[in-house]
Every structure is written in C-alpha cells, then in structure tokens.
A and B are shown apart, each in its own frame.
Chain A
Amino acid sequence: MSEEMKETILEYVVDEYMDEDDDEEAGFDTPLISSGIVDSFSMVSLKVFLEKKYQIKLPDDEATPEAFDTVNKICVLVNKHLSK
C-alpha cells in the first residue's frame, strides 16, 4: 500500500469532511464513518473522488460504511480494484 495513496486520501478526507475549527485530528486509522466524521449520505463524495482519482469503479456492495471506515481500509479497497 503506497504511502502516497494514503496521504492523498487522508488529505481529501480532511479537506472534504472536516472544518478548521474541528478539535479532532484524523490519521490513517481514525474511524471515519463509525465516529460520525463522514455520514452514510455524504460518503458518496468520497466514492466519487476515489473513482475519478484512480479511474476505478467501486460497486455499491463493496463501497460499504465498513470498507470506508478508515483511510487504511479505503486503500485496501482501492488497491483491490486497481489490480483488477
């Protein structure tokens, strides 16, 4: 799993979902969905970003809240589809 991909996705998450005045900081293993940083409705923005950025198609049954819960888990999913 490339560090560059992790950094890119984390940067997107922070920019897309967090505000400057947020007390919490996000890392590669920070829960995103279960903590409420990303809700199930706005998760679509992250999916759209990943598909555009990495030129992949993430099926709905794989783009689940569980698979999107941390940056590390997202990278596993993206890598799976990049290698297809």
Chain B
Amino acid sequence: MAFSDKNRAMFAGEIEDIKSKGLFKEKRFICSPQDAEITVEYPEGADQAKVLNFCANNYLGLSSHPDVVQAAHEGLDARGYGMSSVRFICGTQDIHRELQDKMSKFLGMEETLLFPSCMDANAGVFEAVLEADDVIIADRLIHASLVDGIRLCSAHYDTFKHMNMKHLEKKLQLHQDKRTRLIVCDGVFSMDGDLMPLDETVALAEKYDAMVLVDESHASGFIGKTGRGTHEHFGVMDKVDLITTTFGKGLGGASGGCVSGRAELIELCRQKARPYLFSNSLAPAIVAGSIKVLDLISGNPERRDKLEANTKYFREKMTEAGFIIGGQDTPIAPVMLYNAKLANDMARDMYAEGIYVIGFFFPVVPAGAARIRVQLSAAHEMEHIDKAVAAFIKVGEKYGVLGLDKKEIIEKYGM
C-alpha cells in the first residue's frame, strides 16, 4: 500500500499543525443560490440557518440574476455543455470571440483573451510576455495569484512598499538597466479595500519607460463612473497596458478570467501562456452568462450606483458607531481589530446574530492587522445593512472595542 500508516500519520500531523496554529479552514455549506440572504449549514451537520451574506464577491448582485441565469440556459442549449478542448485546438466558439470583443470594449483595451480563471490569467501572463532580462516591479500587497505568476516567470522581480510612489520611483530608477520594466499592482486591493493611485503610477511608468499591469478583479463592473474599473476612476483608461480580471466576482460570479490590453501582448499570451494552452475553454453557459452581464451593465450604472450608496451608508454607520474601517470608498470594508483571536471570535458571534462574515489574520494579512472583511453588494437593501450594523454594535459592545483607536485595541487584546 503506497499510502502507508506512516504516510497517513505524517499528513495527519501536518493537518494538526495547521489546526494548532489556528489556521484551519472549516467547511461551510451554502444550501441556496448566492445572494444577499443565503441558507447555510455551519458547522458541518448543523441545522441550516438563514443569514445575511456580507462576505461574497457578489458586488453587483448578479450571481443569481434571472436574466443572467436565463442567458446561461440559452447558452447551454445553443452551444452545449462543454468544449472538450483547449481554446487553440477546437475549443473556441463564436461566443468566446463575442465575449472577448465585448470585454475589450467595456475595459477600453485593444484586445482580450479569456482564461479559465483570473488565477490562470495571472499565472500565464508574465511568462508569456517577459524575458529573463526584464524586471517586474510589484506592489507588496498584490494578490497571491500574481505572486505565483511572477514566480513562474524567468524575469527578475522586485517589490515596492504598498502604494508608495516614492519607493516605486526608486525601484524604477534602480532597474533602468533591464530590457523593459513592468509595474504590477491590484486596482482595488482585496484585503484592504484601498485604491492604487493609477494616475501617479502611469505617470511614473511614462517617465521611466515601464509598462503597467493592473489586476482589476475587485474593481471590474463597479469602480469608476461607469464601472469600467480603477483606470476609469483615475482617468487613465488609455494608459494602462495590461488588465487581468475575473468573471467570478462582480461580473456574474461564476468563473473565468481574462487578460486585456495591448494587441501585441495579448497575441503573445495567445501563443505562449501555459494556462491558456493547456487548460479547457470556458464552458459555453458561463460565456453566455458573462455576455449578458456585460450587456446589463454597459450603459446602465444603476447597480454600480446602488453599490456605491450601500458602501457609503455602511462605512458611515460603522464609523459613527466607533469602529475603525480600513481602505477607501470601496465595497471592501475591513473592520480593523488587529488581534487574530478577537477577529475570529467576533466573526463567530456575528454569525450567531445572523450575519455571515469572516475574520482574516496572518498570514492572509500582515501580522497585527487582523480584521473582519465586510463586502457590500448591490443585492443588499438598507434593512440588510442596518441589521448588520446593529449586530456589529451588539458584538462590538460585548468585546468593548467601540470607540477605541488602534493603540487602545492592541493594549486591550494584544497584536
């Protein structure tokens, strides 16, 4: 038997180690479609409970939208269940082309290439575009999938302090000897909800002959006046060279991702990106659903505007109540608690109050920066938000954190 008792004990020990560090991820089952209100089985085997969901990436509330579901049904009927092929052999349908064209138009980019996920897009784009004598200069808080993609690439890489333009400039100066430079950042950072200052970033890129890649997974569909993303928000839509993003968050929430950008760079991805070459095409139903999402939101900012109003309302109410809310005016609203156990305990108590939120702590966020990450959605109604704020106040009072500043919370609970 290959999986001997010794092997079993070894892997079981590793799992125990994860548990002893408090890093074990428990199973949670959603027994309803994704929405503002969901039915959850948690812990495993417990009775199902109806709770308000404040931790989904369902920013525009389109995950279970009837028009999107209908479009996916029609896609399934018209183009089948699966492609049984990678894109370049016999896996590209006319609807894949249609989605790529619509995405290019929506993002204001030259061309787009679909990937099975944004994780795959990020895993493939760097190796496809860069060579060993290039350098990637990355913000230190970029998404883990970008980190993995950068590590798979033969180019040099360096990092700069989170959103620190002075430090970025220093690194651009340091790497002027390389063939080319690629600045890499998130548009909206997923844990902190802050916005990369893309206006300053592209100005530095122009000054030091660098390209810019932005992961817009937590921005596409709702950041910027018409929801096109962080580049729209900062008025630099024609100055970003590459965007990676997902259809798995605001844009319908199913799956799939893409790289969008300069035509030559996208062509290189088509020729060389390994997750594109060696992984199946996006399923027709998802492609059809994603096309419907773009049709729904292009030229109709209603959902994006509602999300903005919800975000503003939640952030204001929570700040008034005495919580520290991190980030800028984005629907990612981290309730800063600094201490890991405190974040975990409060999240558990919030669930008991009917609000589904999760505590995040090291190594997902820096040590001493634990928080409950709240994510707003256009599917939330005011009464949902009022209920969440009331629950936060009740739980916050229990733990005595209302009105405390960072130093006072750390004094009370430790880092």
Q: Does B50 touch A at the CB level, under 8 Å?
A: no
User: Once the chains are docked, how many angstroms separate the CA of A72 from the CA of B80?
Assistant: 62
- Using a CB-CB cutoff of 8 Å, which residues 25-74 of chain B contact chain A? none
Q: Does A56 touch B at the CB level, under 8 Å?
A: no
Cβ distance B171 to chain A, nearest Cβ, rounded Å: 8
User: Once the chains are docked, how many angstroms separate the CA of A19 from the CA of B352?
Assistant: 38
The reply to whether B161 and A19 contact each other, CB–CB distance below 8 Å, is: yes
Residues of B within 8 A of A41 (CB): 138, 140, 147, 159
Q: Does A45 touch B at the CB level, under 8 Å?
A: yes
Residues of B within 8 A of A17 (CB): 161
Residues of B within 8 A of A11 (CB): none
The reply to whether A45 and B367 contact each other, CB–CB distance below 8 Å, is: no
Residues of A within 8 A of B157 (CB): 44
Q: Does B158 touch A at the CB level, under 8 Å?
A: yes
Which of A19, A35, A36, A42 makes the CB contact (< 8 A) with B159? A42
User: Once the chains are docked, how many angstroms separate the CA of A65 from the CA of B161?
Assistant: 19
Given contacts A36-B362, A39-B140, contact A45 B159 (CB under 8 A): yes
The reply to whether B366 and A48 contact each other, CB–CB distance below 8 Å, is: no
Cβ distance B217 to chain A, nearest Cβ, rounded Å: 18
User: Once the chains are docked, how many angstroms separate the CA of A39 from the CA of B363?
Assistant: 9
- Using a CB-CB cutoff of 8 Å, which residues 115-162 of chain B contact chain A? 138, 140, 147, 156-159, 161
Which of A19, A36, A39, A44 makes the CB contact (< 8 A) with B158? A44
Residues 333-373 of chain B, each 1 if its beta carbon lies under 8 Å from chain A, else 0: 00000000000000000000000000000110011100000
Cβ distance A9 to chain B, nearest Cβ, rounded Å: 17
The reply to whether A45 and B366 contact each other, CB–CB distance below 8 Å, is: no
Cβ distance B286 to chain A, nearest Cβ, rounded Å: 31
User: Once the chains are docked, how many angstroms separate the CA of A16 from the CA of B349?
Assistant: 39
Residues 36-61 of chain A, each 1 if its beta carbon lies under 8 Å from chain B, else 0: 10010110110010000000000000
The reply to whether B367 and A44 contact each other, CB–CB distance below 8 Å, is: no
Residues of B within 8 A of A19 (CB): 161
The reply to whether B140 and A36 contact each other, CB–CB distance below 8 Å, is: no
Residues of A within 8 A of B (CB): 16-17, 19, 35-36, 39, 41-42, 44-45, 48
Nearest 8 A-B pairs (CB), nearest first?
A: A36-B367, A42-B159, A42-B140, A41-B147, A36-B366, A45-B159, A45-B158, A44-B157
Sample (5) of A-B pairs whose CB atoms are under 8 Å apart: A41-B138, A41-B140, A41-B159, A44-B159, A45-B158
| Sample of 17 further A-B pairs with CB below 8 A, known A44-B157, A44-B158 | A16-B161, A19-B161, A35-B367, A36-B363, A36-B366, A36-B367, A36-B368, A39-B140, A41-B138, A41-B140, A41-B147, A41-B159, A42-B159, A44-B159, A45-B158, A45-B159, A48-B158
